[in-house]
Amino acid sequence: MSSTPVKRVPLYFSFAFLFLGSLINFIKASDVNTEAQESNRVIHLPGQPSTPSISQFSGYITVNKDHGRALFYWFFEAQSQPAKKPLVLWFNGGPGCSSIGYGAALELGPLRVSENRTGLHFNKYAWNREANLLFLESPIGVGFSYTNMSSDMNKLDDGFVAEDAYNFLVNWLESYPQFKTRDFFLAGESYAGHYVPQLAELVYDRNKERNRYPHINLKGFIVGNPETDDYYDSKGLLEYAWSHTVISDQLYNEAKQVCDFNLFNWSEECNEVMSILYEKYREIDIYNIYAPSCLTKSTASVADSRRDHSVESLSKVSDRGLRRLRIPGGYDPCYSRYAEEYFNRRDVQSSLHANLKGGKWRVCNNAIFRTYNYTVFSILPIYAKLIKSGLKIWIYSGDTDGRVPVIGSRYCVEALGLPLKSSWGSWFHRHQVAGRMVEYEGLSLVTVRGAGHLVPLNRPSEALALFHSFLTGEQLPTHP
């Protein structure tokens, strides 16, 4: 009995079919991602200058489908060679302050809100000259970010924020897959001194579980005037106020006697003394002590915000009945007003694909600041862990900031006990001393002379030079 031989497809044809199928699926996925990206492209914002051309996108990324939690972002491609430049994710602090209202629109984004209410003007010192720049309104309740489950607002703490930010990042990279393999850095200021290292640690840990989580090409992080360690930050705040003649010798000595900053919650005696210190700072701008105070008539929302910063409303009550006075990070009453006026415009919100869930958009949500669960005393253990991992880590500090002063940041860095790489010295910009810097094995501390809490706002050219050095590895000039 004869049989007809079976014709077999050559092996290379099988590989070719598999490759062709994969290619078709890739093209289909790319088409979907391109469509999704284009739907989030910002064509033109009200009041935006016609030149230069800016490639920008904004919208929402869902971080929890069950609760309807979504975080709002504003993304700017690099001004040149975006396909070759790294991706940087920026956070502002507070907690409760908007990275859109501060970082993007007032500090380091390419479009700044104009003081004359005409709309926007181009920022020639924008950080997207150096990188693709992604701004995130975090946590939920900040700016345009929201949740459909009101109980989520009672859960806000550092761990909750880090988990949502991680989910945002993973899902954003799915929507913008061209950045999946790009060098990735985190950046931020003020209470982002918690957000940034904590998210970096989460990414680092989950990168080691390739079978469960996608790999994110994290290379390092940079934080400005960061809240890092409650003890050293508080000690630095007190010493800075005394050394810069804000408080008397008597008040300084009394505070040293009654305050134990090692305690998570201060004693009533310490709170009383520190409340006097904060009252003295109300005469000037704690965030930039040599800058003139804002005397412009405020809008109602900013006036409310100023009242929210009174010492009576800064107390944080614990389960034990003790309290600790806290003052928000990242507040600027003059510039906040311009941002709030702009982002509350309907035409602006429509152009940004933003959905304001009731009420008004505020540059800082003071309710979050008051109800946030402050559960982490120190970020220094995370620094010690991530320094060993080989990540590039910089801290920069405007030296006229009384809120998170450079003294406290120096204490924090010294507490790590790192080997010295290059000693304390000046760095220069445009033939002038721009600040000081010291390099340790695994971490650099850079100061910016004459800058307050918002360094890119106060010293934009120096801030851009510092950011360029951080990303490229080029040394900051040490001679004029």
**Catalytic site residue from 401, 429, 444, 469:** 401
- Is 389 catalytic? The answer is no
Residue pLDDT, tens place only, 374-419: 999 999 999 999 999 999 999 999 999 999 999 999 999 999 999 9
The pLDDT value recorded for residue 326 is 76
The pLDDT value recorded for residue 303 is 34
Average pLDDT over residues 16-43: 64
For residues 47 and 345, what is the distance between their CA atoms, to the nearest angstrom? 11
60 touches 72 (CB < 8 A): yes
The answer to whether residue 29 scores a pLDDT higher than 80 is no
Average pLDDT, the chain: 88
The pLDDT value recorded for residue 322 is 45
The answer to whether residue 43 scores a pLDDT higher than 60 is yes
What crossing angle do the helices spanning 192-207 and 380-389 adopt, rounded to 10°?
Answer: 40
SS3 sequence of the chain: CCCCCCCCCCHHHHHHHHHHHHHHHHHHHHHHHHHHHHHCECCCCCCCCCCCCCCEEEEEEEEECCCCEEEEEEEECCCCCCCCCCEEEEECCCCCECCHHHHHHHHCCCEEECCCCCCEEECCCCHHHCCEEEEEECCCCCCCCECCCHHHHHCCEHHHHHHHHHHHHHHHHHHCHHHCCCCEEEEEECCHHHHHHHHHHHHHHHHCCCCCCCCCCEEEEEEECCCCEHHHHHHHHHHHHHHCCCCCHHHHHHHHHHCCCCCCCCCHHHHHHHHHHHHHHCCCCCCCCCCCCCCCCCCHHHHHHHHHCCHHHHEEECCCCCEEECCCCCCCHHHHHHHHHHHCCHHHHHHCCCCCCCCCCCCECHHHHHHCECCCCECHHHHHHHHHHCCEEEEEEECCCCCCCHHHHHHHHHHCCCCEEEEEEEEEECCEEEEEEEEECCEEEEEECCCCCCHHHHCHHHHHHHHHHHHHCCCCCCCC
The answer to whether residue 37 scores a pLDDT higher than 80 is yes
**Catalytic site residue from 58, 98, 190, 409:** 190
Residue pLDDT, tens place only, 263-297: 999 999 999 999 999 999 999 999 999 998 776 54
**Catalytic site residue from 194, 309, 429, 453:** 453
- Is 401 catalytic? The answer is yes
**Both ends of the chain: CA-CA distance in Å?**
96
Residue type, 289: I
The pLDDT value recorded for residue 21 is 52
The pLDDT value recorded for residue 10 is 54
Residue pLDDT, tens place only, 126-147: 999 999 999 999 999 999 999 9
329 touches 404 (CB < 8 A): yes
Q: Calculate what percentage of the chain has a pLDDT beyond 90.
A: 79
Q: Calculate what percentage of the chain has a pLDDT beyond 70.
A: 85
- Is 190 catalytic? The answer is yes
Q: Which pLDDT band, with edges at 50, 70 and 90, does 298 fall under? A: very low
The pLDDT value recorded for residue 293 is 79
